[in-house]
A and B are shown apart, each in its own frame.
Chain A
Amino acid sequence: MNGSSSSSGDWHDRYYHVDQILDRPGPRTDPSFLAGDEVKDFLRNKCKILVIGAGGLGCEILANLALSGFKDIHVIDMDTIDISNLNRQFLFRQKDVGQPKAIVAAEFIMNRVPGVKVTPYYGKIQDKDDDYYLQFNLVICGLDSVEARRWINATLVNLVDPENPESLKPLIDGGTEGFKGQARVILPTVSSCYECSLDMLNKPTAFPICTIANTPRLPEHCIEWASVLEWPKVHGDKKLDTDDPEHIGWLYSMALARAKEFKIEGVTWSLTQGVVKNIIPAIASTNAIIAASCCNEAFKIATSSAAYLNNYFMLIGTDAVYSYTFEHERRAECPVCGGESLDITISKEWTVDRLIEMLVEKQDIQIKKPSLASGAKHIYFQAPPQLEEATRPNLEKKVSDLIPDGGEITVTASSLPFSLSLRINYS
């Protein structure tokens, strides 16, 4: 780095271009925008951002953030570097294969962009608690797993505490599948969350099981036949490990033999791996566009320098470069951000039966046949019969013997769009 001057490693005109945006307001700037030193100080010295995932999207996101002036970046990833990542995850080199992605990515960025601190965590997002997530101003996700996204989304929605404005963490979620991708801004409890749009997702392709069994036409049918029908038949209860080359090898040879029998071409090792792991080829340029969009939003939200995305940007690059932006609406029946929550105060002497009676009679809710649980503990279930019978003795018990003061109960009922969350206080 020639010309680096200050102790933080800044070089002359390092932020020349970014400062064009931060030094003066524009026509669409938020009224709360504080042009000049104040916003720069926040972005460069105070803002703490978390990046989840250091894969195809994550590498791009980390580089973009570091170069646009974020200086306190944390990154979580549970994977290690595989040789097949090197074509697009450009923070990694051949020598890094086998090393944790988060650690290698953090080191790479810190070496390349002076003054930026990247704190890696090699592990699962589920290892971290609320206090960990509370320390950030913003969270950006570049994940390929629906399950991990649902988890972080629910965690950030649950984090929102009506008494603490700092508890609301904007979540920017990027995702790509081949030439398609999306970037979205989720303001937990304010705008539509990830769970709200779950049914919009492309579900994993599944072929009819009878086609797989009888009339295969595609190489994928032969691979599915090997993994869905033949594996359990031959290996019984032994679980198929899609990361085990021996298991993939077995599936590959079975699928190949079946393909031959039905005169189908195209069964390869990598297709076998792709089908069983449900891998859609990752395209570097799609990742670059989506990561850029996510970081653009992070920059706008952190600085208030321009209106941020409201709230869903979709990129379809399959036929040409088409993009579409729309406002995805919150769903009242969303199990994460929808439903109602209610504080109630009852006597310590109340039985579960009495509480249920109250829920049924209460004018403003009027729940028919409510079922109650607290975490994994079932309090009273209306159905099925076996569970109704098993939980029936609880009806006579005092609520205070089952739920601590301030404890929560999840209520479901057919008359509720999704669920009702009750917080019980004792008088």
Chain B
Amino acid sequence: MIKIWSMKKNEDAAARRKPKTSAAQIRVQKDLTELDLPPTMKTHFPDPTDLLNFTLTITPDEGMYMGGAFVFSFAINNNYPHEPPKVKCTHTIYHPNVDLEGNVCLNILREDWKPVLNLNSVMVGLQYLFLEPNADDPLNKEAAEELRKNREQFLYNVKSAMRGGVIKGTHYDKVAVQ
């Protein structure tokens, strides 16, 4: 056998075995404990000992969605950060980039995910969707159509949906906070 041991740099004698925590777990600990969120975003852990499953509530303080509280579920698997977290909106909301099942059209959650991105980038990306809804990447086509054609009507629909209204036969969840 080759003598590898002699190649081992004489590191600090204190350098020792590392704990048996999975790389995904340590990475999630790092991501979460370094989260720097504005007051408009809050995380909630139903089981505080489980870092891999939690929700994020976004309460925009400007833009068309101001006055609403939008809840997203995060599910992280053991292949993080090789794979992105799975994020879904838990409410039925009226938004061009979120469909009625809660799927979100955010590039960094799918095709543009990279391991150098972190949970903070995802959360900031989600909040941006409420400041700048994008009619070009529609998941709710009717909402996107409306945003493109008639901004006034779109804004009216957003407000009414947030109060739990019905738009074109679809019942939206009440997400308005007073």
Contacts and interface: CB of A to CB of B under 8 A. Distances in A.
Nearest to B31: A412
A208 B30 contact: no
Interface string B3-23: 111011101011111111111
A264 interface: no
A137 B1 contact: yes
Interface residues of B, number: 60
Contact of B33 (A157, A304, A342, A412): A412
Contact of A213 (B13, B82, B99): B99
Nearest to B102: A232
B27 A383 contact: no
B127 to A, nearest CB: 15
B37 interface: yes
A341 B3 CA distance: 24
Contacts of A419: 26, 29-30
A304 B37 contact: no
A157 B110 contact: no
Nearest to B45: A386
B21 A375 contact: yes
A80 interface: no
Contact of B14 (A304, A343, A376, A418): A343
Contacts of A207: 110-111
B1 A199 contact: no
Contact of B110 (A146, A209, A343, A386): A209
B114 interface: yes
Nearest to A416: B30
A232 B26 contact: no
Interface residues of A, number: 75
Q: Taking chain A's interface residues, is the majority helix, strand, or loop, or is none over half, making it mixed?
A: mixed
Contact of A47 (B1, B104, B114): B1
Contacts of B109: 209
A341 B13 CA distance: 10
Contact of B4 (A168, A390, A423): A168
A138 B93 CA distance: 55
B97 interface: yes
B116 to A, nearest CB: 6
Interface in A404-420: 408-410, 412-414, 418-419
B90 to A, nearest CB: 13
A113 interface: no
B19 A374 contact: yes
Interface in A6-53: 30, 32, 42, 47
A233 B39 CA distance: 33
A373 interface: yes
Interface of B: 1-5, 7-9, 11, 13-23, 25-27, 29-30, 32-37, 42-45, 48-49, 78-79, 81-83, 97, 99, 101, 103-105, 107, 109-111, 113-116, 137-139, 141
A-B pairs, 8 with minimum CB distance: A371-B33, A165-B5, A408-B19, A412-B30, A206-B110, A210-B137, A335-B23, A343-B14
Given A146-B79, A157-B18, A412-B33, 9 more contacts: A150-B23, A158-B20, A187-B7, A210-B138, A376-B21, A383-B32, A410-B21, A413-B33, A419-B26
